[in-house]
Structure 1
Amino acid sequence: MKRAYRWFLGLIDPFAPADGAPPQALWPFVKWALSGSGPAIALTLAVTFTAGLSEIVAASFTGWIIDGTSAANPGFWLTFWPVILFGVIFFLIVRPILFAADAGVTSILIGPHLFPLVLSRLNRHTLGHSMRYFENDFAGRISQKALQTSRALTDVVTEVADVGVYSLAVFGGSLLLMASIDSRLLLIFVVWGALYIFALRYFIPRVKVRSAARAGARTQVTGQIVDTLSNVAAVKLFAHNAYEDRATLRELESFRAKALEFGELSSIFRMVLMTLGGMLPLFSILGALYLWTLGTATAGDIAMTAMVSTRLSQLTNRIGRVAISIYTNLGEIQDGIDTLAPAHEITDRPGAAETASGPGAITFEGIRFAYGGEMTALQNLDLTIRAGEKIGLVGASGAGKSTIVSLLLRLYDVEQGRILLDGIDIRDLTQEALRQQISVVRQETSMFNRSALDNIRYGLPDASDEEVFDAARRASAHDFILTLQDYRGRSGYAARLGERGVKLSGGQRQRIALARAILKDAPVLILDEATSALDSEVEAEIQEALEQVMQGKTVIAIAHRLSTIAQMDRIIVLDQGRIVEMGRHSDLLARKGLYSRFWDRQSGGFLGAQEAAE
């Protein structure tokens, strides 16, 4: 039994990857998302169809009983033992097993497996999108779309099997049963079926369109609320509760209008279906009575007709609800496809190397980049950084410093030119292989709502606890981590940091980010304003640790506080996407150029807004 159950569960691998990228047309996307689940879905449909046919057997049994009693001889057991035996086997053994199997394939095999199958594939594809994709949308909206699409597709499969195929079996069996009684009864069922199909074909496409509009409006509401709550500190500081409330109400009003349009059409659809549902038992029973008066139908035939038509009538309303649900879900799936399935802007080349090694020499050759627009961020950039060399990037806001780092990390692809890492075009490495060679500490640190231990260990997932503790000490983070405590009473390294590290100060977040980079120990280290949020005392502590960490590594440091990069091997001065000065700190000061003006005018070693404006 256990082996059979394991085989049963093994019909779907809920985490199997799909081949290629998701198609952007509905049915090819469904095929892509469900690929590999065919045997499980086929078994589900077969079991559900068989369960539906059991309804016809039950109706036939009733007719058999009624017709049998009219011709029965006295003696209960002698006359009815075949009926009793059949009833016991069918109603107490076969039918319960069929419906248990029907429930099992939908609630055990399909539901718990299809949802993670689809969601894991969508999540895997979403993670592969470029930074531009995430910058153009809300994180909450993207995640909701993935969850919504996965749930909707799972519901479609479940509903098609649980109601659609079941009803098809009942209707198909009913046609055969009516044909065995009289072709005129069959005609009533055929005409009713044609009217029912016509109603579905008329209403369902319209329901689908309005459903998609409602789903889109609901997503906008979610995006607005998530955007507000994600920036709740700014909302409070600017006293904009009312402003944000009005923005949410506007989105809610749009959703309400779309929901009303959907509800009005759904109500009319339900009324039509209920009318059709009432027509079938009325005309089919009247037809059976008429045939009985002609002597061509028996009392059992009337009973079978009544049972089958009444059952179909009861299914009519359920089919209508499910049809609306299915096409509502299809609308949500299409809406999700539009958001989630676009092709990746940045992809790995065929045959790209999956591993990389080297000391970290970097070359920028003829780089031009404009973020896809007309305003050039970098133009004609040529720069060679020797392995183990430490350079600082200086320039006013918008000069191109962060763009250089983003291109090196392949968060964007160069529009002209190429970037080499240890003599290899970075596009000839997989994105994973490239980024494994680079540690980054950014001004805007990324913290997960996980423990401090997990946040630091993110730099090297296989690191031991002691290695994590050592990295934290070197980043001057160990002492304050020991004082942390979350709302569940977890303390120290086990304490959760809150969403985006909200429970930490800016300096604490950057020290944890620095510890993460120290633990990763990649040959290239990028410091993007890595100490900007630290006070002077803590910065001095970390600066000493950084000097040790930077030994033997290629370092690219971006800083407005020029004192933090004064000891670099070279300082690169950028202006409007071009390199305008290059050299050591003392040499650049002697030139009396742009860097010298930055140094002379800064306050406390910080490149301020005045220089950014010049």
Structure 2
Amino acid sequence: MIFRWFESLVDIFGDADDAMPPRGVWRFYWHYLRQVRGILLSICVLGFFVALVEVALFDFLGRLVDLTAESPAGFFARHGSELAWMAFVALIARPLLLALHDLMVNQALVPGLTARVRWQQHRYVVRQSLAFFQNDYAGRIANRIMQTGASLRESAVQIVDAIWYVAVYTGTALVLFARADAWLVLPLALWVLGYAGLLAFFVPRVKQRSWQASQARSGVMGRVVDGYTNIATLKLFPHAGREDAYVGEAIADNAEKVRLMTRMTTAMDVSITAFNGLLIVGTSALGLWLWSRGAITAGDIALSTGLVIRINNMSGWIMWVVNGIFEDIGTVQDGMTTVAQPRDVVDREGAKPLVVTHGGIRFEDIHFHYGKQGGVISDLGLVVRPGERIGLVGPSGAGKSTLVNVLLRLYDLEAGRILIDGQDIAGVTQESLRGQIGVVSQDTSLLHRSIRDNLLYGRPDATHAQVEAAVRGARADGFIATLVDGEGRTGFDAQVGERGVKLSGGQRQRIAIARVLLKDAPILLLDEATSALDSEVEAAIQDSLDVLMEGKTVIAIAHRLSTIARMDRLVVMDQGRIVESGTHAELVARDGLYARLWQRQTGGFVAADVAEPDVP
């Protein structure tokens, strides 16, 4: 029960600020630590009393040495209450304080804060734009989120603990030494100044090199995960040596960065150890000299020598704590480069849900270039009437898929606007926009979950009967029943593997089509929706696609022009502009770009493919 109470102090999934985390290191820390400032303050107070109790035990040890010089007769009668008090401190107070401290750290902060930071960072990062993920390794992004939460928590706890141990031990030692004899303060005071100087020299250098080592470690993770994710490609080409060299380069860089860091930590360790020896020798020698002159007692020697030995051990611990703190800070800094990035595509303040009543789409003088010089889409205007089915046609790079991407608002336009039923999509919420659009793309990737989970992504509240109907409509019911994964799960419960690698391309495409059938959105985008299907299967599900398109506004892109020739209207694009528009018959009769593309696919296309680039 007591464990559960402390574990409940941090609500992992509680409400939190969704703003971009600050980019400054300490402001980044405070952004997350302010959520548990009460717990950190409690740990700080408990750490103070734990350190105070331990110093009190050393003080009592010194007094005990002096007390033993008295006559044994009546010893316990004279000092019984003091002995009982110290027994209470050692047997009850100290263990209780340490237990509370450990419960706060190990039960509340270690699992709770770490998980909460990871959850918040994941929620922020997963809402980044598509370009954000295209510009980095997925493995490196995941690695940084996993490491940042743990390193932030660990360094915060270590800082809180180290502050009190240093302050209490050093401060009370100075007071106790001064109480015995002012001269005893001198070695410790000089040591404090020298120790601070050594830390001031080494800590910034350790911090910098720790950050570099963390960056290199994330690079290794990114390259390794990239290879594992694309293992089929690695197997298809006989370049194992090149892949080894690619990963080996990152591992070597990481090893070199770690060596540079450990050189500094070794130098710091040796320097502080040697300096600590001066403290022990200086304090002991001075204490013995003062005792020989009758200025202090044997108990004072026991106290001072015991405390400086403890401070010596503590300084070594502090050194490693400081080293660990700045290694963790380096990891947090590395994570900041991923987490503390503004989102490129965000909902406007006060954005409302999109309401689709008819499904009309209007592109008004839109411009988009992926941030590059030159046009991808320029001055494009297009009206798609409610319920109209249009096909997008054009050579590779014409801008067809880009047009679909900006309609989904995966990227924001540079100029112009897109309206759905008169509503500017830049002013509605992204989730409501994409919730009203069904998409079947050429690059179909499934989640590494069960068939059922992948289907329910289209409509989470669907019944099993509705799921089965969508599967039948996509002609996927035949192969789903035969699926068995590595753990013996079958049918709808079978796992599909990362990106759906356990299924063939055609099977993945049929699951994707079933998912969109289940979603039943009023606007439908088909980007090479049947590209992975053989002619027999494509013909089998064409009727299902016709049913799916019934009553919907449809924009379809297809490599095989025969699959979209029956659309209400074909729109031909070239170099980011619309160059032709009309029915299949009208465009063939016009003898323009569409007619040439059609001719390539209906006759002489092998020779034509050599002369011209392929049609996407």
TM-score, normalising length: structure 2 = 0.95
Secondary structure in 1 matching 2:489: coil
Evaluate the alpha carbon distance shift between residue 605 and residue 426 of structure 1 in structure 2; reply closer, same or farther with a 3 A threshold: farther
TM-superposed CA distance for 1:264, in Å, is 1.4
1:612 aligns with 613
Deviations 1:178-208 (A, max 9, x none): 2322222223222211111111110011111
Q: Give matches, 1:461-540, under 5 Å.
A: 461-540=460-539
Which range is displaced more, 563-572 or 225-234?
225-234
1:294 is matched with 293
Q: Do residues 96 (structure 1) and 95 (structure 2) align?
A: yes
Equivalent AA in structure 1 for residue 125 of structure 2: T
Q: Which amino acid letter does the alignment assign opposite residue 167 of structure 2?
A: L
How many Å apart are 1:457 and its aligned residue?
Answer: 0.7
Task: Provide the C-alpha distance between the structure 2 equivalents of 1:197 and 1:559, rounded to a whole number of angstroms.
Answer: 70
Q: Deviations over 1:193-245 (max 9, x none)?
A: 11111111100111111111112222222222222222222222221111111
| Alpha-carbon distance between aligned partners in 1 of 2:210 and 2:465, rounded to the nearest angstrom | 54
**Contact (CA 8 Å) 1:388, 1:553: kept in 2 or not?**
yes
Please name the residue that 1:211 is paired with.
210
Output aligned runs, 1:33-432, within 5 Å.
Answer: 33-75=32-74, 77-354=76-353, 356-432=355-431
Q: Determine helix, strand or coil for the equivalent of 2:499.
A: helix
Inter-partner Cα distance in structure 2 for 1:311 and 1:327: 24
282-291 or 360-369, which moves further after superposition? 282-291
SS of the counterpart of 2:613? helix
Matching residue of 2:552: 553
Q: Is the 8 A contact 1:106 1:162 kept in 2?
A: no
Alpha-carbon deviations, 1:233-281, whole Å to 9, x = none? 2222221111111222222222222222112111111101211232222
Rounded Cα–Cα distance in structure 1 between residues aligned with 2:10 and 2:283: 43
The alpha carbon displacement at 1:348 in A equals: 1.3
Query: The residue matched to 2:68 in structure 1 has which SS?
Result: helix
1-side partners of 2:612 and 2:566: how far apart?
A: 21
**1:469-528 alpha-carbon deviations (Å, 9 max, x no partner):** 222221111221111111111111111111111111001111111111122222111111
SS in 1 for 2:480: helix
Determine the C-alpha separation between the residues in 2 that align with 1:54 and 1:360. 73
Q: Which moved more, 1:380-389 or 1:219-228?
A: 219-228
The farther-off stretch of 595-604 and 452-461 is: 595-604
Report what 2:580 is aligned to: 581
How many angstroms apart in 2 are the aligned matches of 1:111 and 1:414?
A: 44
Kindly provide the amino acid, as one letter, of the partner of residue 63 in structure 1: G
Checking the alignment, whether the CA contact within 8 Å between 2:393 and 2:570 is kept in structure 1 is yes
**CA contact under 8 A between 1:204 and 1:323: conserved in structure 2?**
yes
Cα distance in 1 for residues equivalent to 2:196 and 2:373:
54
- Which residue identity is paired with 1:211? S
Task: Read off the aligned partner of 2:613 and give its amino acid letter.
Answer: A
Contact 2:3 2:103 in 1 (8 A): no
- 1:584-603 maps to which residues of 2 (within 5 A)? 584-602=583-601
Query: Aligned equivalents of 2:614 and 2:3: distance in 1?
Result: 70
| Cα distance between partner residues in 2 of 1:466 and 1:435 | 25
For residues 353 and 335 of structure 1, the distance between their equivalents in structure 2, rounded to whole angstroms, comes to 36
Tell me the amino acid that sits aligned with residue 402 of structure 1: S
State the one-letter code of the partner of 2:98.
F
What's the secondary structure of 1:500's corresponding residue? coil
- For the Cα contact (< 8 Å) 1:18–1:35, is it kept in 2? no
Aligned partner letter, 2:251: L
Q: Shift of residue 164 of structure 1?
A: 4.1
2:24 is aligned to 25
Alpha-carbon distance in 1 for matches of 2:585, 2:21: 55
CA deviation after TM superposition for structure 1 residue 360, in Å: 2.1
Assess if the C-alpha contact under 8 Å between 1:561 and 1:606 holds in 2.
no
Distance 1:56 1:19 in 2: 45
2:16 corresponds to 1:15: no
Aligned-residue CA RMSD (Å): 2.0
**Long gaps (5+) in structure 1:** none
Q: Following the alignment from structure 2 to structure 1, what is the Cα–Cα distance between the partners of residues 357 and 67?
A: 89
Note if contact 1:598-1:611 (Cα within 8 Å) is conserved in structure 2: no
Matches of 1:374 and 1:350 in 2, distance apart? 31
SS at match of 1:612: coil
Please report how far the alpha carbon of residue 357 of structure 1 lies from its aligned counterpart in structure 2 after TM superposition.
Answer: 3.7
Residue type of the alignment partner of 1:589: V
Task: Assess, with a 3 A threshold, how the Cα gap between structure 1 residues 59 and 554 changes in structure 2: closer, same or farther.
Answer: same
Whether the 8 Å contact between 2:6 and 2:107 is mirrored in structure 1 is: no
- Deviation of 1:591 after TM superposition, in Å, equals 1.7
Asked whether the 8 Å contact 2:6–2:103 carries over to 1, the reply is: no
What amino acid is the match of 2:11? D
Deviation at 1:20, TM superposition (A): 1.6
Given residue 23 of structure 2, which amino acid in structure 1 is its aligned partner?
A: Q
Identity of aligned residues (%): 43
> CA offset at residue 407 of structure 1?
0.3
Q: 1:76: how far off? A: 5.2
Separation of aligned partners in 2, 1:604 and 1:504: 34
Please give the alpha-carbon distance, in whole angstroms, between the structure 1 residues aligned to 2:558 and 2:586: 18
Query: Following the alignment from structure 1 to structure 2, what is the Cα–Cα distance between the partners of residues 472 and 611?
Result: 39
